[in-house]
Amino acid sequence: MRIIVIGGGVIGLCTALALSREGADVTVLGRGEPGGGASLCNAGWVVPVMSGPLAAPGVAGAAVRRALGSGASLVVRPRPSAALLRWCLGFLRSSNAATHRAGLAAMLGLGARSCEQYTQLRDSGVEFEIHPRGLLFVARTQKGLHEAAELVASAERAGYPGSYRQYSAQEARSVEPALGEGIVGAVHAQDELHVRPETLVAGLRAALRSKGVEIRERAEVHGIVSDGSRGWSVRAGKSTETADRVVIAAGTWSRELLRGLGVRVPLQGGKGYSITSTGAGTAPRHPMKLIEANIACSPFDAGLRVSGMFELGARDGRVNPRLIRRILSGATRYLHDWQPEQAGLRLAGMRPSTPDGLPLIGSVPGRAGVYVATGHGTLGLTLAPATAAALAPLVLHGRLADELTPFAVERFATGGTAERGRRMAGERT
């Protein structure tokens, strides 16, 4: 079976690997730099414990307060489009307790084994940097510490299988000497892990090429057209590729590709930033979620990555130096004495996000043979192997895994779709 995967990020590469391992003839078409965008600039966390959708009770109010503060972790484009306003309305409608509980259960149903899957990926011969050190949620206030504890407890109630411990300030500094005096405590999710995203992308690409998979870079797709029988033609650059199946796993670009098929979905980009640098002082040993600042720290073999921001509605991947400085300033308030000692690697990428915080995974309504895997928000790296493992049987054999049901495109899709899709779009968006 001939399959084209559109998207050279971690979701597309994992999906291509799963399909090729089942004997499919796969070609990957990437729009820009190899594995660029959110696949490279993220914190590298594999964190089922953080599977809760972004849309949650109280999040909207907290986001507004953060947006108005000097250390805001949320930035909204000054002139939001009509599509972005509709997305925000859908987000608000999804920010209730019942919807959030259902979403958390669905995400854990898909990704509870993500850490195990990454270990298996490495053991299968894919080479990448990986660290099984858990994840520390660090707080500077009692309110923040309660928020961290409740996040982990909610995940446990929804089926999260990992172990965790809560630490006092003194215990937290004993576990992580890089922490400063201003913290009040921490929660340690002990079974999580983190990877260096660049090495993961490189390892996946090498594994695919070893299996004979063609990876075409800077291959912008201009159209996906039915060939009149049971296959599809994909126009990329000056060439046209034909395939039995097409998988759209192209991040925020997926919205335009689906629109070309007459299917509209409410997908928005939330730009995130990161800087990776060596530094002076005591560097963290554990990945850390800095609760009040909403910043991530990830120690790698060659430097510390500090990540943050959710620039909603951003249109490109350009780096804003002012926001990079804000992220670094927010992180160092939690640390004892670490300071970056060089400019470091600065990256920005667009996280594809849906109003209800759940990804779009499955068949494209009314377009037999076309599938989609996007909208994972901040959990793209966490859920990449799980998404690939669940989607491959659907693409190859038409078998829909139970865990994919909550992520059906029909819940949003409009335009040329089945009546169920139109009805659900009216109810949910």
Please report, for residues 28, 283, 381, the alpha-carbon distance to residue 12 in angstroms, rounded to integers and kept in the order given: 8, 33, 11
What is the model's pLDDT at position 309? 84
Task: Show Cβ contacts of residue 37 under 8 Å, excluding neighbours closer than 6 positions.
Answer: 9, 251, 317, 349, 350
Q: Is 112 helix (H, G, I), strand (E, B) or coil?
A: coil
Q: Is 358 helix (H, G, I), strand (E, B) or coil?
A: coil
- Reading the block at residue 304, the tokens are 């510390």
2-39+199-265+359-428 CATH fold: FAD/NAD(P)-binding domain (3.50.50)
In one-letter notation, the amino acid at residue 49 is V
What is the model's pLDDT at position 424? 33
Please report, for residues 46, 98, 109, 206, the alpha-carbon distance to residue 209 in angstroms, rounded to integers and kept in the order given: 25, 44, 31, 5
Query: Which sequence spans correspond to the domains of the chain?
Result: 2-39+199-265+359-428, 49-192+268-353
What is the model's pLDDT at position 173? 98
Residues of the chain with pLDDT below 70 are 33-37, 60-79, 314-315, 343, 413-429
CA dist., res. 43 & res. 414, Å (int): 34
Element (H, E) at 114: helix 114-123
CA dist., res. 389 & res. 383, Å (int): 10
What is the model's pLDDT at position 330? 93
What is the model's pLDDT at position 361? 98
Please report, for residues 94, 137, 148, 160, 233, the alpha-carbon distance to residue 157 in angstroms, rounded to integers and kept in the order given: 20, 18, 14, 7, 46
What is the model's pLDDT at position 171? 98
CA nearest to 365, candidates 410, 312, 317: 410
Q: Is 265 helix (H, G, I), strand (E, B) or coil?
A: coil
Strands (E), 178-238: 185-189, 193-195, 214-216, 221-226, 232-236
CB 55 within 8 A of CB 99: yes
> Class of 49-192+268-353 per CATH?
alpha beta
Q: Residue 396: count other Cβ atoms within 10 Å of its Cβ.
A: 17
Task: Show Cβ contacts of residue 170 under 8 Å, excluding neighbours closer than 6 positions.
Answer: none
What is the model's pLDDT at position 416? 41
